[in-house]
Amino acid sequence: MPELAEVEYFRRQWDAGKNAAITEVLVHPKPKLFRGIDVPALVRQLTGARIVDSFTHGKQMFFRFRPAATLGIHLGMTGDLSIASADAPQGRHDHLVLRQKARSLVFSDSRMFGRIRFMAGAEKPEWETGLPPGILTPQFTAAFVDEALRRRGGTPIKAALLDQEFFPGIGNWMADEILWQAGIEPHRRCKTLTAPERKRLHTATRAISKKSLEKIGKKLHDAPAKWLFHVRWRKGGDCPRCGAPLKHATIGGRTACWCPRCQPAK
DNA sequence: CAACCTGTTCGCCA
DNA sequence: ATGGCGAACAGGTT
């Protein structure tokens, strides 16, 4: 489920436990999501610590602690953050549980495609400093998008939009939404996009990210009316703009949905 | 029962 | 070396 705005939504779930001491740390017996991490050290460091800040970048979440440490959580395909009671038993898919006096902060992920990162100390980890420009920052310019499309020249635009090095936070439904709103057919190779199309792509990417954060960032699955979002899941839907039957195909290994009339093939 | 899935990474091949 | 593609990962849902 989680793309840009949904990741932001889940990050906020843990705000309830901000500044409260962590009394106990539970981790999943399988270390898959902790790959490359010294798990006992993480448990030691976070026991007694407090979350003092948190933020997201694309699909990546960051939590800062005092004593100084940074926890990174990626939700993968099926992860979520939630609040449970202070004595809630650890669920089968709960990979990290931070106990507090009044509640538990839970990271659950049934399909185990998520990832946990951790670094003790005040220094920023390289998995934070090495990130590309966020879509809603001034550095995410039309020129940046042009360069991304040049680099991914022969790739279908739908697949390129899923590249987190260039479009951090964009996932499958957002990519379909962007192309639909920009009127670009998803198979189009990046290098064949015209200057006006590239401009529309940049504009739509920013607008949809902003709107998503305003709406979905507060309440899950509450995308604006009239968006493709509401009809793209199942086959047989019609274009919310023109009413034409939507098309579906696999592009770059993922399901794509588009309107053949609003997004004509060249 | 088989197919499908809102993500990422790896290995293969051109 | 580089770009692009398909498979793999694992469990739940349709």
State phi, psi for A198 to the nearest 5 degrees: -65, -40
Mean pLDDT value across residues A223-233: 89
Instruction: Tell whether the model's pLDDT for residue A240 goes beyond 90.
Output: yes
Q: Name the pTM for this structure.
A: 0.95
* A244 pLDDT tier (thresholds 50, 70, 90): very high
Instruction: Tell whether the model's pLDDT for residue A73 goes beyond 80.
Output: yes
Strand B contacted by A255 CB (< 7 A): yes
Q: What is the pLDDT of residue A171?
A: 94
Mean pLDDT value across residues A116-125: 96
Mean pLDDT value across residues A117-134: 94
* A235 pLDDT tier (thresholds 50, 70, 90): confident
* Residue A22 or A36, more confident: A22
Question: How much is the mean pLDDT over chain A?
Answer: 94
* A125 pLDDT tier (thresholds 50, 70, 90): very high
Instruction: Tell whether the model's pLDDT for residue A49 goes beyond 80.
Output: yes
Buried b vs exposed e over A72-93: b needs ≥16 C-beta within 10 Å?
A: bbbbbeebbbbbbeeeeebeeb
Instruction: Tell whether the model's pLDDT for residue A220 goes beyond 90.
Output: no
For chain B, which bases have at least one atom within 7 A of a protein Cβ? 4-9
Q: What is the pLDDT of residue A1?
A: 58
Strand B contacted by A237 CB (< 7 A): no
Shortest CA distance to A44 belongs to which of A64, A20, A22?
Answer: A22
Residue A128, both tokens = 């934070």
Active site residues of A: 2-3, 59, 254
Shortest CA distance to A45 belongs to which of A76, A66, A74?
Answer: A66
Mean pLDDT value across residues A2-31: 94
Tokens 């440490």, located at residue:
A69
Residue A190 CA and nucleotide C14 C1' are separated, in Å, by 34
Question: pLDDT for A166-201, tens place per residue?
Answer: 999 999 999 999 999 999 999 999 999 999 999 999
Instruction: Tell whether the model's pLDDT for residue A247 goes beyond 70.
Output: yes
Mean pLDDT value across residues A15-27: 98
CA nearest to nucleotide C9 C1': residue: A113
CA nearest to nucleotide C7 C1': residue: A253
Instruction: Tell whether the model's pLDDT for residue A234 goes beyond 80.
Output: no
Shortest CA distance to A259 belongs to which of A170, A114, A243, A164?
Answer: A243
Instruction: Tell whether the model's pLDDT for residue A83 goes beyond 90.
Output: yes
